[in-house]
Amino acid sequence: MPRADADLIAAPDAPDSSPEVSSTEHIVAAVTRAIVEHRLLPGAKLVEQKLGDRFGVSRTVVRQALYRLSELKLVHLEPARGAFVAAPSIKEAREVFAVRRMVESQMLRELIAHIKPADIRKLKAHLKAERDAVARIDVPTRTKLLFDFHVRLAEVLGNKVLMDLMQELVSRCSLITLMYQSADNAQNSNAEHAQLLKAIKARDTDLALQLLHDHLESVERQLIEAPRTSAPT
């Protein structure tokens, strides 16, 4: 079973208000980021006391955060055993990608209808950051940026519910690819993002939808039945 060290979870800045609620949300955000960046492996145990010490909060607050993470399907809670980073099945992986295709297809249609030049510039800057992280083989940063691209597309529309949904979906996908992806195709993913943004800028909806579906399918095709035992390099 993979071991989890609380030091792998970056402690965020101190919350500004409502300490108990904010602390819970900050722990959720920090654990999610550690999963997205592939610093926490599927099956890793999350020890309440270590997390409490790391964030300077009570075990009650930690339990609230772990419960929220379990609702997001990122953590699995086992009675009398504790909390573990989720280990999704192939069936669940297929279902997550199916939902992403449905949600992102409609999101893309709305995005093309409303996107502005300033939005294009922000997305281009994100792609450059992706490319730079890929070039320097910065695995945690490139992993987060590659998944965050899809959240940034939702951000353009200014729909908080959609942004939260996309964040949940890409976080679950990050965990899935860590377990099942057969090869590291970070450079290909960045190139596919660039092609997609070019189609969005041209307001070519049909091409953008085809590129999106091809992109998601290329990631899904890399899934294999045998799970990984360690993070990719």
Which pLDDT tens digit goes with each residue over 23-36? 888 899 899 888 88
* pTM of the model as a whole: 0.76
Residue 14 has pLDDT above 90, yes or no: no
The mean of the pLDDT values for the chain is 85
Q: What is the DSSP string of 148-208?
A: HHHHHHHHHHT-HHHHHHHHHHHHHHHHHHHHHB-S--HHHHHHHHHHHHHHHHTT-HHHH
Residue 233: pLDDT band (50, 70, 90) is very low
pLDDT at 119 over 90: yes
Whether the pLDDT of residue 213 is over 90: the answer is yes
